[in-house]
Structure 1
């Protein structure tokens, strides 16, 4: 059924800016029309008088469905910490859409997430971008694979130190990543040579190297877990060595090296900030970080790192960044259009625009105000949440 949202204050998050009073017509799961007054016979009408309408919120770094809510080992499927190099692992094979965190995410206005492996391994595996509503992950996917997770700093060091194997130093982490990329590059070159010359044999199939081809071809970026400044620079160094795309995730020390990051112009996915300083590399944790990066022209998204911060609190993280100096509009962009751009899905989600997926959140007030309520959530033009 067509849906007509009427009389709303619309935060489009695109070039149209804020429409003080307008209507949105939804057809076949897409945003069909945006105008001041729309009539549509037979459409279900949602009266949004006095309400605020936003595109569905997006988290560019989550592990939702990978570590299930209120479940221990049986539901922990995010770290295959038996091998530091696992690029062939795919998040879609571990996500449980029946985890109640998805319901809570929807109730919090989060309609789209990038979710995938954790940071135990130097190469953890392949992230995907999914909608938060559905029973079958294959039907929830927007983009898969979306990125290749790699990790620097304390996490891979601590995991493999306990196992008495490499990496136990930052040097080993970098070397292991380089080795995997060199092998994949050699593997790809041999494949291409065999395609051009039938007398040459292709390389013996290697699933790990095969999985890294999309990185080498710049189809997906390395998604680099890096908190500390030196780890951030190592991630950048290796990305340049192999001429691959990169996103910097966590970036806790980002505001301390903002001049360098501005020069590099690499997207930064910042957080989780609503947490304690549980390890050494978090000593500079501060909510002012995303605002400082954004003010210097860096493309910034704000993350929860669910379950570190529950997925439903994405807007709270953006609100606290705003409270710490981030421009309000930039904070909204950091959970809508910016993560969509960083993840390469902005043609479908991230703003309220004709032709895009009808992922829409209707609020009683501004989402950065604590007592504002989510009234409706639509995903693919379907009402998936309505406040009782």
Structure 2
């Protein structure tokens, strides 16, 4: 058993407990409150401010390893525009010396969704992990697969249309490829069911179509990369045609289409924001966008897109959003419970409740203050980082 006390304990979903106590047992939160008794002999850690570990909703740490160039670049299978059968899981370096994982851990980012890149129209399966390094990534899993990465806009058009002189070279081509694969998967599923008792007519196993089946059966959503409003509108249109779920990844022009997104009940994962505008489709990047989406009723998380930006910037991105009038409480939720909900793991992480995973951030002060130190990080009830 382990006890953690804090002058302020922010539960995220049930307010702040002054002089709070958290009891941890078997990797889970056993009890939390201001009047919790600490059993004799139990090790106790103390902090000014205690909150749940942060949740990074969209990143590429571990599949784009830092410092080693092409040898550690496993994020994009740039050989064909649709690769639904590839998995981020198979490209992640889980070792403690991987720069992105190390940075996440030091900042108290305890859960992260790692996705394939956005070179392909269909990029493959994502995965949600805990960031405490293990011998293998399989020991870090919290949800696999967590979604199917798809991409709209400049990236697939540039990689295939401009660089390779092949389909897709236009937004029409991107949409056409996605529709074709969805229809082929739908036909495959129907044929498998129709001829389930007839091995001669039952279709041969197709690993690519099998990989898309969980999307059509609503087991996982599309994680749709799109910066522009028109691109996400196309994504929604196609998802409605095939009755599948999606989240909007990046949402750079969320201010242009906020009310429509709210009406469609599409969750958004906004960012990267603490970055330059390297592409034309990012020209309207603004810290005013979170407030606009919030006021429209969009459910959104904040992300860093690491390694496109540094994962340690996650709380800073939330702080800048508050500077631009996003409510403080929602900014904290946007890096904890909201991404946990969007990723389908809120039963385990994102807030302090009895029975949830004991993932804690022990801080020297306000979590959105730049000078605040992350003094200790606890994952699954064990101290994973300490200053």
TM range (shorter): over 0.9
Deviation at 1:377, TM superposition (A): 0.4
Q: Which residue of 2 aligns with 1:54?
A: 51
SS in 2 for 1:266: coil
Deviation at 1:295, TM superposition (A): 2.2
Superimposed CA distance per residue, residues 55-101 of structure 1 (whole angstroms, 9 cap, x where no aligned partner): 00001100010100112000000000001000000111000012122
Where does structure 1 differ by over 6 angstroms across 4 or more consecutive aligned residues? none
Distance in structure 2 (CA, Å) of the matches to 1:101 and 1:182 = 37
Q: Which residue of 1 aligns with 2:332?
A: 332
CA contact (8 A) 1:91 1:116 kept: yes
Superimposed CA distance per residue, residues 237-286 of structure 1 (whole angstroms, 9 cap, x where no aligned partner): 00000000010010111111112112111100000011111111011100
* TM-score w.r.t. length of structure 1: 0.97
- CA pair 47-199 structure 1, distance change in 2 beyond 3 A: closer
Unmatched 5+ stretches in structure 2: none
Unmatched 5+ stretches in structure 1: none
Deviation at 1:201, TM superposition (A): 2.4
Distance in structure 2 (CA, Å) of the matches to 1:199 and 1:94 = 35
RMSD of aligned C-alpha atoms? 1.1
Superimposed CA distance per residue, residues 197-240 of structure 1 (whole angstroms, 9 cap, x where no aligned partner): 44762111111100000000000000000100110100000000
Distance in structure 2 (CA, Å) of the matches to 1:282 and 1:47 = 43
Q: Which residue of 2 aligns with 1:115?
A: 114
Distance in structure 1 (CA, Å) of the matches to 2:174 and 2:238 = 11
Q: Which residue of 1 aligns with 2:194?
A: 193
CA contact (8 A) 2:216 2:242 kept: yes
Distance in structure 2 (CA, Å) of the matches to 1:35 and 1:25 = 9
Deviation at 1:311, TM superposition (A): 1.1
Q: Which residue of 2 aligns with 1:375?
A: 375
Q: Which residue of 1 aligns with 2:85?
A: 88
Say whether residues 1:71 and 2:68 are aligned partners. Answer: yes
SS in 2 for 1:224: strand
Distance in structure 1 (CA, Å) of the matches to 2:236 and 2:176 = 14
Q: Which is further off, 183-192 or 292-301?
A: 292-301
Within-5 A mapping of 1:89-108: 89-98=86-95, 99-108=98-107
Q: Which residue of 1 aligns with 2:21?
A: 23
Distance in structure 2 (CA, Å) of the matches to 1:332 and 1:52 = 13
> How many pairs were matched up?
382
* TM-score w.r.t. length of structure 2: 0.97
Q: Which residue of 2 aligns with 1:311?
A: 311
Q: Which residue of 1 aligns with 2:170?
A: 169
Distance in structure 2 (CA, Å) of the matches to 1:7 and 1:123 = 45
SS in 2 for 1:64: coil
Distance in structure 1 (CA, Å) of the matches to 2:292 and 2:352 = 27
Distance in structure 2 (CA, Å) of the matches to 1:12 and 1:56 = 11
Q: Which residue of 1 aligns with 2:32?
A: 34
Within-5 A mapping of 1:140-179: 140-161=140-161, 162-179=163-180
